[in-house]
């Protein structure tokens, strides 16, 4: 009995202590939130003789401005924590405002840790920085280490500095494609690909052991076009020939600060303390302690549009993979609700449709396109492309209006495919599970994932793919005012860089999100100044409290895991038709 009471009171004490600890953790968490909220209410002050610092260790460059707490989601605990970002529109707007702000004397770029920024956003930010420098104000860049992408951004600076112990990893841009046919064969998986487009390499990695001639051709052209735009920008600023730069990269000559200095790619080598002493010297102050430094994100908060005008430009973000009801990415059912809200808002005078998507389900893309067509009947739409606007991403935007694309945007991929994965042989091979077909008709159970498709079934799905491809090309032909035959010639599933897409009439202008918004402002009929409008963004980001309370709801974990399992199950069962990029390009730079 004594042991019973000892165990009972020990357990009771543990519960009480756990409750107290949990209670104080909640109090601490709420206090942190209140502190965060109150600090956000105070607008940062820009002092005279200030340096605007762009530091990617503090705020990543992304599609939309968001704070860690604003973006908090339970999913972050399972699948990676995104952190704080400054949106490309806010970043570019801040840099442009700084050019005209007498309090901002210089920009200092710390370029490390920017490889998650996206190549298209890097291009747009660099263009804005060039405008700043052309205004007569200096830019300096400093890197502990330089990659190809971070150096591309740094090359806009008047002076480029590097840490004494820094490393250079400037090796060009590219990546590896993995092919899984041999693994699938070994596992006993039967994978059948139905597609239209000789360049439609989506899922090729599952049915081939190596890259096809067409896929290699399009990828080499894509990477080559992106590098051409980067190399042109770098060489123009550093007065070096492309041949010399390519030779140094190919022969791995760029490895540390000394080799970078010898090639003329940097101007000086400094420790961190020496760098700040140099900045103090340039700003004509006594020491680094006297420097007035403001971050890009804080500075952007000082120039928020506080117009009293009721006129709005709505920026509708289509970011991620297109699905019908997905909880992440572009869910058609969620997006059409936002489109309807924009259409009903009489104060919204123009819309910028920001697409950053590799595509996805063709049916979901068509649902979104139809809703956008209704919106276009009432309000002008201008399209802006981010890193990706391909396949389904192109589908939903081709008929909207004039298209702005950066040179490095990956777009096109006008093609369609279906993928059928059957695992009946794998069950038999590894688990000794047999199956028996039962049905009322010859093809009952078709696409269930148990048995491979026969010749008639393959022809059935091929006919469906051809129908969707024809619909896709007709949409593009109508939206771009091009002959269908021409669309087919630049289609076939081929991906293009934004620069090549302009030459092929798939986009109208080279420019970023800020350029698209500026263009949309010219479409607003108003008696006030042209710039007198509000920017409203959709979908509306959840508040701190909404995100946290939703994340800790009793069903949050269950819903999260369920959605992930459903995503996997959907790939293993049924045959789906996709208008999607071959894969998510992970371009190493």
Query: Could you report the per-residue pLDDT of 335-363, keeping only the tens digit for each?
Result: 999 999 999 999 999 999 999 998 888 89
Distance CA 352, CA 402 (A): 10
Q: Token digits for 450?
A: 């148990």
Decide if 157 contacts 176 (C-beta within 8 A).
Answer: no
Q: Which carries the bigger pLDDT value, residue 169 or residue 69?
A: 169
Q: Is 428 inside a domain boundary?
A: yes
> What per-residue confidence (pLDDT) applies to 246?
96
Q: Which carries the bigger pLDDT value, residue 355 or residue 588?
A: 355
Tell me, yes or no, whether 137 and 259 share the same domain: yes
Q: Is 353 inside a domain boundary?
A: yes
The pLDDT of 13-31, averaged and rounded, is 54
Provide the domain limits for residue 392. Answer: 312-543+576-580
> What per-residue confidence (pLDDT) applies to 442?
87
Mean pLDDT value across the chain? 83
Whether the pLDDT of residue 186 is over 60: the answer is yes
Q: What share of the chain is helix, strand, coil (3-state, %, to 5)?
A: 45, 20, 35
Whether the pLDDT of residue 44 is over 90: the answer is no
Which of 359-373, 441-455, 563-577 shows the lowest mean pLDDT across its residues? 563-577
**What confidence category does residue 584 fall into, taking pLDDT thresholds of 50, 70 and 90?**
low
Q: Is 206 inside a domain boundary?
A: no
Whether the pLDDT of residue 38 is over 90: the answer is no
Which of 234, 267, 302 is where one domain is finished? 302
> What per-residue confidence (pLDDT) applies to 69?
43
Three-state DSSP state, 61: strand
pTM of the model: 0.83
For residue 196, what are the β-bridge partners?
A: 416
Which residues neighbour 449 within 8 Å (Cβ) at sequence distance 6 or greater? 420, 421, 422, 423, 424, 572, 573, 574
81-90, 145-154, 564-573: range with highest mean pLDDT:
145-154
**pLDDT tens-digit series, residues 148-158:** 999 999 999 99
Q: Which carries the bigger pLDDT value, residue 167 or residue 57?
A: 167
Tell me, yes or no, whether 267 and 389 share the same domain: no
**What confidence category does residue 87 fall into, taking pLDDT thresholds of 50, 70 and 90?**
very high
Closest CA to 342 of 71, 514, 546, 540: 540
Three-state DSSP state, 401: coil
Tell me, yes or no, whether 277 and 337 share the same domain: no
The pLDDT of 49-57, averaged and rounded, is 91
The structural domain count of the chain equals 2
Tell me, yes or no, whether 293 and 341 share the same domain: no
Q: Is 19 inside a domain boundary?
A: no
The pLDDT of 408-427, averaged and rounded, is 86
Whether the pLDDT of residue 71 is over 60: the answer is no
Q: Percentage of the chain surpassing pLDDT 90? A: 50
User: Is the four-CA dihedral 121, 332, 502, 399 of positive or negative sign?
Assistant: negative
The pLDDT of 43-59, averaged and rounded, is 88
132 half-sphere exposure, CB direction, 13 A CA radius: 31
Q: Return the beta strands (E) in 410-564 as ranges.
A: 410-412, 416-422, 495-497, 509-510, 534-538
Q: Is 121 inside a domain boundary?
A: yes
Tell me, yes or no, whether 318 and 277 share the same domain: no
Domain CATH code at residue 146 = 3.90.226.10
Tell me, yes or no, whether 118 and 141 share the same domain: yes
Q: Which carries the bigger pLDDT value, residue 420 or residue 389?
A: 389
Q: How many angstroms separate the Cα of 357 from the Cα of each of 72, 222, 331, 413, 429?
A: 22, 17, 12, 12, 38
The pLDDT of 186-203, averaged and rounded, is 76
Whether the pLDDT of residue 34 is over 80: the answer is no
Q: Is 111 inside a domain boundary?
A: yes
Q: Compute the CA torsion angle 55, 57, 60, 66 (nearest 10 deg).
A: -100
Distance CA 130, CA 141 (A): 13
Residue 161 φ/ψ, nearest 5 degrees: -120, 160
**pLDDT tens-digit series, residues 522-531:** 988 654 455 5
Decide if 425 contacts 195 (C-beta within 8 A).
Answer: no
Decide if 496 contacts 411 (C-beta within 8 A).
Answer: yes
Burial of 80 (0-12, 13-18, 19+ CB in 10 A): exposed
Tell me how far the alpha carbon of residue 222 is from its chain's centroid: 18
Three-state DSSP state, 498: helix
Q: Which carries the bigger pLDDT value, residue 44 or residue 455?
A: 455
Distance CA 437, CA 451 (A): 9
Whether the pLDDT of residue 443 is over 50: the answer is yes
Tell me, yes or no, whether 321 and 285 share the same domain: no
The pLDDT of 405-433, averaged and rounded, is 87
**pLDDT tens-digit series, residues 480-507:** 999 999 999 998 888 999 999 999 999 9
The pLDDT of 530-554, averaged and rounded, is 66
> What per-residue confidence (pLDDT) applies to 588?
60
Q: Is 484 inside a domain boundary?
A: yes
**What confidence category does residue 428 fall into, taking pLDDT thresholds of 50, 70 and 90?**
confident
Three-state DSSP state, 195: strand
Distance CA 383, CA 402 (A): 6
Q: Is 479 inside a domain boundary?
A: yes
Q: Which carries the bigger pLDDT value, residue 557 or residue 419?
A: 419
Q: Which carries the bigger pLDDT value, residue 161 or residue 301?
A: 161
Pairing, β 190-196 against β 146-147? unpaired
Distance CA 319, CA 329 (A): 6
Which of 221-235, 255-269, 553-567 shows the lowest mean pLDDT across its residues? 553-567
Decide if 464 contacts 577 (C-beta within 8 A).
Answer: yes
Which of 282, 302, 322 is where one domain is finished? 302
Whether the pLDDT of residue 88 is over 70: the answer is yes
The pLDDT of 222-238, averaged and rounded, is 94
Which of 270, 302, 334 is where one domain is finished? 302
Q: Which carries the bigger pLDDT value, residue 158 or residue 173?
A: 158
47-61, 77-91, 553-567: range with highest mean pLDDT:
47-61
Three-state DSSP state, 312: strand
Tell me, yes or no, whether 475 and 530 share the same domain: yes
Distance CA 85, CA 68 (A): 8
Tell me, yes or no, whether 463 and 524 share the same domain: yes
Q: Token digits for 48?
A: 């005279």
Tell me how far the alpha carbon of residue 184 is from its chain's centroid: 30
For residue 412, what are the β-bridge partners?
A: 390, 495
Which residues neighbour 250 within 8 Å (Cβ) at sequence distance 6 or greater? none
Which residues neighbour 2 within 8 Å (Cβ) at sequence distance 6 or greater? none
Tell me, yes or no, whether 400 and 360 share the same domain: yes
For residue 210, give the DSSP letter: S
Order of strands across the sheet that contains 50-55: 268-270, 159-163, 139-143, 104-110, 50-55, 292-295
Tell me, yes or no, whether 316 and 280 share the same domain: no
Q: Token digits for 51?
A: 């340096």
Distance CA 323, CA 435 (A): 31
Distance CA 140, CA 483 (A): 49
> What per-residue confidence (pLDDT) applies to 526?
55
Tell me, yes or no, whether 443 and 294 share the same domain: no
Decide if 413 contacts 355 (C-beta within 8 A).
Answer: no
> What per-residue confidence (pLDDT) applies to 27?
53
Residue 196 φ/ψ, nearest 5 degrees: -125, 130
> What per-residue confidence (pLDDT) applies to 566?
47
Q: How many angstroms separate the Cα of 523 from the Cα of each of 157, 380, 402, 514, 517?
A: 35, 7, 12, 15, 10
Closest CA to 537 of 238, 304, 241: 304
**What confidence category does residue 536 fall into, taking pLDDT thresholds of 50, 70 and 90?**
very high
Whether the pLDDT of residue 203 is over 90: the answer is no
For residue 418, what are the β-bridge partners?
A: 194, 577
């Amino acid at each position: 009995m004594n042991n019973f009471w000892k165990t009972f009171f020990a357990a009771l004490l543990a519960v009480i202590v756990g409750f107290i600890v949990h209670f104080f953790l909640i109090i601490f968490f709420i206090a942190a939130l209140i502190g965060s909220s109150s600090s956000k209410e105070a607008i940062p002050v820009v002092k005279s003789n200030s340096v605007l610092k762009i530091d990617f260790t503090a705020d990543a460059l992304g599609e939309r401005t968001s704070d860690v707490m604003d973006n908090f989601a339970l999913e972050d605990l399972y699948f990676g924590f995104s952190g704080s970002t400054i949106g490309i529109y806010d970043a570019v707007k801040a840099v442009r405002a700084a050019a005209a702000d007498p309090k901002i004397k210089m920009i200092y770029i710390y370029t490390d840790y920017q490889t998650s920024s996206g190549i298209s956003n890097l291009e747009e930010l660099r263009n804005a920085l060039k405008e700043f420098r052309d205004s007569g104000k200096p830019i300096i860049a400093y890197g502990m280490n330089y990659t190809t992408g971070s150096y591309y951004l740094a090359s806009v600076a008047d002076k480029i500095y590097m840490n004494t112990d820094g490393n250079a990893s400037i090796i060009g841009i590219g990546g590896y494609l993995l092919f899984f046919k041999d693994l699938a064969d070994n596992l006993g998986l039967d994978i059948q690909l139905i597609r239209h487009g000789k360049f439609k390499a989506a899922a090729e990695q599952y049915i081939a052991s190596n890259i096809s001639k067409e896929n290699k051709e399009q990828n080499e052209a894509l990477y080559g076009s992106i590098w051409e735009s980067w190399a042109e920008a770098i060489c123009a600023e550093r007065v070096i020939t492309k041949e010399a730069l390519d030779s140094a990269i190919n022969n791995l000559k760029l490895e540390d600060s000394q080799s970078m200095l010898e090639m003329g790619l940097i101007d000086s080598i400094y420790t961190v303390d020496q760098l700040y002493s140099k900045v103090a010297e340039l700003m004509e102050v006594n020491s680094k302690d006297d420097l007035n430094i403001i971050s890009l994100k804080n500075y952007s908060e000082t120039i928020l549009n506080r117009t009293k005008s009721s006129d709005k430009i709505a920026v509708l973000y289509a970011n991620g993979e297109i699905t019908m009801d997905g909880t992440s990415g572009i869910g058609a059912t969620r997006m059409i609700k936002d489109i309807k809200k924009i259409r009903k808002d009489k104060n919204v005078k123009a819309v910028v449709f920001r697409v950053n998507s590799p595509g996805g389900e063709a049916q979901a893309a068509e649902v979104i396109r139809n809703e956008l067509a209704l919106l276009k009947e009432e309000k002008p739409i201008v399209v802006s492309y981010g890193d990706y606007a391909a396949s389904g991403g192109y589908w939903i935007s081709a008929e909207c209006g004039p298209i702005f694309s950066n040179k490095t945007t990956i777009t096109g991929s006008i093609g369609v495919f279906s993928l059928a994965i059957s695992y009946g042989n794998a069950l038999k091979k590894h688990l000794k599970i047999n199956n028996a077909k039962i049905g009322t008709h010859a093809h009952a159970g078709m696409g269930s994932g148990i048995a491979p498709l026969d010749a008639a079934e393959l022809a059935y799905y091929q006919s469906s793919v051809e129908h969707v491809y024809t619909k896709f090309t007709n949409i593009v032909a109508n939206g771009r005012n091009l002959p269908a035959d021409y669309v087919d010639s630049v289609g076939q599933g081929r991906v293009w860089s934004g620069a090549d897409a302009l030459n092929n009439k798939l986009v109208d202008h080279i420019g970023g999100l800020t350029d698209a918004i500026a263009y949309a402002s010219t479409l607003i009929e108003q008696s006030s100044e042209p710039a007198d409008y509000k920017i409203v963004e959709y979908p509306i980001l959840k508040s701190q409290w909404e995100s946290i309370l939703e994340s800790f709801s009793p069903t949050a974990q269950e819903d999260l895991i369920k959605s992930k399992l459903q995503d996997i199950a959907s790939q293993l069962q049924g045959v789906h038709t996709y208008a999607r990029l071959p894969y998510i390009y992970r371009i190493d730079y």
